[in-house]
Structure 1
């Protein structure tokens, strides 16, 4: 009897101890939840303050003349036309270069390559590491390879290829994760009815993984659209009074034009820089909205 009573007492003590541990874990979980929520709210508040300041300074300078005018030494005559058209040129070519190559690489690594081979493991690690390389390093690479070695000079194609290399690892990694999320049952079902591997990938796997692939591409393109350092390294012009007509022409982009205006001491140039930031954000949000609509369509 004493043994039974001691066993019951010990079990009760353990139960009380487990309840206290549960309460302790719940309290820790609540504290961490409050901490992370506070961090999110702090970031959102700082962003709102920054946006309010930009809108306050730039909204008065944002009009049709600002969009349709070329840069000038005089703030009242300065516009953003050449930088806006240059950004559209560069980002369009960047997408055409990086998206097919990135998705194709991800398909090879996930669907065709032998993951147990040492070469494929090294390749996978290097791709993941390249996603964290500073953007200015890609600018140095673009200057050495595209501008000098391949002879593209300081042109739109050099800028697009440099930015394409910058976002390529991000697209590859995100596309791989999207392909991994496709259930194997879908592949096996396609093989069971006699469909080839390539038809399975294009007809079953890619449509299922496309929303995730587009999500990663949106994030990568958003990063590329706001980059100035690699384009400055390869020699993108700070002042252009003409519109590029081909991929071999000189160019400038919105981030570089905004950077040049912010370096001026006059208060008027600070205001038109804020207006340029608003144009860049509108362009960025418009491109992202189109991509999100396409992604949501494939999700359905």
Structure 2
């Protein structure tokens, strides 16, 4: 068995050394989110309503993200991200709400679901690759899976608005490592249409500030604490849709370089 493992090590080590894949970093984060703002209006006669109207600001909501980053040599990186955000709240309406022509009278007890799920792919090019400081720039494209609905608890009314769309953004990421090996990171995705796309006005932003610490001497596994602000929305006149939201997150997470861990495991055998 040891001879077989040694043979695998001898074959795998040169292959990894010659591969353009210098790192494969898996990342998971979780923590509470708070809704600062979530305004909506749906339909030609739709009523403007806010997060307060449907009790979205009375609680914190557990969230999570999963990402996988492939580092190709020293300069190039590709990131795949899954970012779900799915909450349901219950409220007794204090005013009439018209949602796509269906009116929910004041006093109606309603359940409201808000789903904003993102599947994002990003490319980053490392402009600065110093010993303690790195700076990367690039772009992201995100498939947005969105759904908003209202349903009367007594079953008398139900209506929804759903959409799958493609969103692009510019991206940048900075990281500085302190002499203590603690590191600080800033990552941002952002884009605004500035009203240039016909009768649609919209924008997105996703900004995270991170404090990380290596969990071992090899620095291929890191734990971190992260503050994130996320927001955006659109005013789409041709579909009579308006939605704009701003959210805050307090997160903890872990990231691990799978390539380095595999190489370490092979060397130990």
More strand by share: 2
Q: Per chain length, whose mean CA-contact separation is higher, i.e. which structure has more relative contact order (CA < 8 Å, sep 6+)?
A: 1
Q: TM-score range by the shorter chain?
A: under 0.3
More helix by share: 1
If you compute each CA radius of gyration, which structure gives the higher value, 1 or 2?
1
TM-score for both structures, normalised by structure 2: 0.27
TM-score for both structures, normalised by structure 1: 0.24
